[in-house]
Structure 1
Amino acid sequence: MMATGAATHSYVLGPQRAKLQLSLMVNFFLLMALYSGVLGVLLPNQIAELDEGSKANNLALLFAITSVFSTLTTPIAGALSDRTRSRWGRRSPWIAIASLIGSAALFGVSWMTSFWSLMVLWVMATVAYNSMQPAMTTLIADRFAPETRGGVSGVVGAGMTAGLTAGTVVAGYLAGERVLAYGLFAGAIAASCLAFVAINREPPSDAMPRRPMRWGEFLKGFWISPREHPDFAWAFASRFFIYMGYQAVAAYLLYILRDYIGLGNADSNIAIANMAIVTLIFLVISSLGSGWLSDRYQRRKPFVILGSLIMGCAMVAPLAVPTMQGMWAYAAIIGVGYGMFMSIDMALMTQVLPKSALGDEGKDLGILTTAVNIPQIISPVMAAILLNAFGNDYRAIFWAAVLFVFGSALCVFPIKSVR
């Protein structure tokens, strides 16, 4: 049974809503597991094996180049999905086809023996997965009524945050079996996305009015004026700052354990997996609890602000205690803060979108997703510059991360259209 919302929306109810919500959670769980396992463990290990002396700079270069493609791909794919007309709907073709292409490229990465061949295939995988992700995210705006999105965002956020942890755990324990690890991530996301499309049939879009492709108008649509849409701009800034801080630490976590804490290669792989288990426990509790409370009280901003502040406190722990005890504290506190932020962030983003009669949610959410992708370009490069400037002292990264995540909290206060 469906309830019709805006002209371009069919809001799901009852069992269909529960099924779609659970399916989104599983898909985002696997996608985030892939990202965290590959970016946080498998690629850093593979790059270090290829050239130990240049591992930090090469990792920063890989993040920077692939994130440029991610940043360009996400809003364009979102905009094209808005215009897609098929009997499978607007979003489903992008989810199914892109997942297959991305998984094929990702599995190929496991066989690469040079940095640049690895880079090419990982770029291909990144472009494909970033063509799929905005379509999945936009389904929350397409299919769920605004007053229910806090709960949906909480469940999906719990899946995402649990996936970030689970991916690190799996990759940490399978780091010595590279082909198996890459194949597991690639196969899981492809199978899940195909099942998602088959189980959750999207309303056909082939009868919707077709929008002529005028390239000037198409490209102009990617500019959303901060003056005309200030809440959208503040939400973008908040997301940008928090991911600048979070990515700076997350991208170098394996090297932090080795070069800042002093663990060996094997011990650091096990430690990063065990830390992820600790984080997982706090992430799931925080995500589900925050999403439920957010819908109950119809408040988004307080949870996003508090989550940002808690994340800042987590970054301080390894500075105060530069041992594994400090890292355990970081793992637990970051779980609470990041879980709270991610569970509500998605609901908040869907409620600051510019109003459009054309159905541009995919494009607009794609633009907001670039607030995650751009830090993937900048933050690893920033971290590498800080390490070079401060004699490989990882404390500089933590201090920068604290400033960014606290800045994210400040950007939420001016948002007026969401409470």
Structure 2
Amino acid sequence: MLFLAYASLITIFQGVQNILLPPVVQRLAPDAKVSTMALLITLASVTTVISLFAGGIVSDRTRSRWGRRTPSLVLSWLASVILMPIMGIADSIVLLAVVLPMLWFALNYYQSVLLAALPDRIAKDELGFASAAIGLGAPVGIFCGVNLAAFASNTLAGYILLAVPFTILTWTLVLLEPEASSVDMPVPPRHPMSLTNFLAQFSSVRERNFALALASRFLMFLCYFAVSGYMFYIVQDYIGAENTPFGSAAAGVSILLSVMTVTWLVVTFGSGYFADRIGRTALVVALASFAAAIVTLLPAASASWPIMLAFALGIGLTFGAYFVLDLKLATLVLPTPETAGRDLGILLAAGSAPGVISPAIAASIIEAGGYPALFVFGAAIAALAGVCAIRIRIAR
């Protein structure tokens, strides 16, 4: 059920960012599409960081007959499905700049609460399989999202198509796997609002393994966001839409992400099984990061469709292994179960915080050195992520 709900969430993220939003931005700001897209993604990413942190803290403290996570899950679902049709009819950059951050806040709040259920409800010796199952939701969501959005009759229809599975699978989870009551759970003490107490929320960062996992996740997602955030324009302007099989940038992106999805699916459970067998999750995460760095360099060498297909294949293998095991690694470095939601929210925010800075960084790199320079930057960042991961030490 967690896998299905997570897949429906990723379906929305990928369908909107890769297919539905870029053509609208291009139509409304044809002479400044890259910088405008950067502005919109930056605004959305700011709210993302806040919501991922807030979701964990609020749900940690929630006491209800429906459990800690369920009330927040349902409310964030409701806000999301209300905002999505508004995005579908938005006809100005100003309206997009208001609604997109609100939608991203609701969706990422949902993500934080959903993933907080992993340490809540899954035994530690089953985390590898559970993490792989939830991680499988990412490639499935990518495949469904880009294809539903790419072949929708219009933008509004695309948003509605993405909202339908999200609604069905959220309520499937809530109704078929109800959470136990949290009414009798002790409530963490409240502290007066102060800078000291606020900074105390980040006390887990002082733990070595937690800090290294945080840095690795931040760097790896910086690579991913910097490159994937401009995939539509990379295909259209760097590769050339006319060089894709259907002569369409949207179709080209759909093909690339579908190739990535298939390879991601292949590697998902294999990487989880391998890491469990050798008992070295951090090592496998590091190897996946180094391999991703090599793959990301490929498009810098040649602006051709075959190279982009090879890039998609390699990204599916490397990032697929990384994302599956990164989730397991995140649960293994959590300092205490009492603050699991808060600390997991911090780690999730580290994966979304790059979205705040990556649009501006990527836009400036594209402006200065073109798309090849963007791929070189992504490769360097992925290699640094591997260095951080390989230094994590967890008792076997």
Please give the TM-score of this superposition, normalised by the length of structure 1: 0.90
The letter for the 1-side match of 2:202 is W
2-side partners of 1:346 and 1:126: how far apart?
Answer: 21
The letter for the 2-side match of 1:201 is P
Q: Deviations over 1:379-413 (max 9, x none)?
A: 111010112223xx101110000001111100012
Residues 156-165 or 55-64, more deviating: 156-165
The answer to whether the 8 Å contact 2:70/2:174 transfers is: yes
Residue aligning to 2:339: 360
2-side partners of 1:223 and 1:25: how far apart?
Answer: 29
Residue aligning to 1:272: 253
Residue aligning to 1:252: 230
Residue aligning to 1:8: none
Q: Deviations over 1:122-159 (max 9, x none)?
A: 11111111211111111111111222111111111112
The letter for the 2-side match of 1:211 is P
2-side partners of 1:286 and 1:263: how far apart?
Answer: 29
1:190 and 2:148 are equivalent in the alignment: no
2-side partners of 1:131 and 1:207: how far apart?
Answer: 25
Q: Normalized per residue, which structure has more helix? A: 2
How many residues of Structure 1 are paired with residues of Structure 2 in the alignment? 391
Residue aligning to 1:348: 329
Residue aligning to 2:348: 369
Residue aligning to 1:179: 156
Q: Deviations over 1:289-328 (max 9, x none)?
A: 1112223333311221121122112212212221001100
Residue aligning to 1:9: none
1:295 and 2:276 are equivalent in the alignment: yes
1:166 positional shift: 2.8
1:162 positional shift: 2.4
The answer to whether the 8 Å contact 1:161/1:283 transfers is: yes
Once the two structures are superposed, the pairs formed by residues 68-147 of structure 1 within 5 Å of their partners are 68-147=46-125
The answer to whether the 8 Å contact 2:289/2:386 transfers is: yes
1:100 positional shift: 1.2
Change (3 A) 1:308 1:81: same
2-side partners of 1:272 and 1:299: how far apart?
Answer: 35
The letter for the 2-side match of 1:194 is W
The answer to whether the 8 Å contact 1:291/1:343 transfers is: yes
1:105 positional shift: 0.5
Residue aligning to 1:14: none
Residue aligning to 2:185: 208
Residue aligning to 2:378: 401
1:218 positional shift: 5.6
Residues 325-334 or 139-148, more deviating: 139-148
RMSD: 1.6
Q: Structure 1: which 5+ residue stretches go unaligned?
A: 1-22
Between the two proteins, what is the percent identity of the paired residues? 30
Change (3 A) 1:279 1:378: same
1:262 positional shift: 1.6
Residue aligning to 1:6: none
Residue aligning to 1:331: 312
The answer to whether the 8 Å contact 1:308/1:409 transfers is: yes
1:212 positional shift: 4.0
1:118 positional shift: 1.5
**Which of residues 174, 199, 203 is equivalent to 1:224?**
203
1:241 and 2:219 are equivalent in the alignment: yes
Residue aligning to 2:21: 43
Please give the TM-score of this superposition, normalised by the length of structure 2: 0.95
**Which of residues 115, 133, 142 is equivalent to 1:164?**
142
1:170 positional shift: 2.4
1:33 positional shift: 1.5
